[in-house]
Every structure is written in C-alpha cells, then in structure tokens.
Amino acid sequence: MTNTNWQKSSYSGASNECVEIRTADGLVELRESDQGHLTLPTTPAHFAAFLQAAKAGEFDHHA
C-alpha cells in the first residue's frame, strides 16, 4: 500500500480539531483529527468536484 502522511490546513494552527487529508493507493482519504480511526475514502475526481462546489458556496446554506 502506498501512503503519504496526513496533512492538515495551515489555518488549523496547533488545534487538533480539523480535517486531515492524504492520498493512498490512488484515492484521497479524509479524517477528522480527533477521530483518526475513522477515514472517508473518495476518488480524486469526486474530491475535486467537492472542493469546487465548496469554493462556489454551494454548501453555505448548511451553516
């Protein structure tokens, strides 16, 4: 299995309350830093679509 290290946003600072991301075997994996045993795998294409939607404000009404 090819894994990279987990990365978190520089906006998180020293906080352990953030979403972390890594690539593993051609997938993108997400986890919440304080629940590290739970991961959400997705494809790079689906993750890119999610990021585009978030940047476009498509989820702003959920706040």
pLDDT band at 46 (very low <50, low <70, confident <90, very high): very high
Give the separation between CA 3 and CA 37, rounded to whole angstroms: 15
Average pLDDT for the chain: 87
Compute the radius of gyration of the chain from its Cα atoms: 13
* pLDDT above 90 for 43: yes
H-run or E-run covering 55: helix 44-55
pTM here?
Answer: 0.75
- Give residue-wise pLDDT tens across range 18-40: 889 999 999 999 998 888 788 99
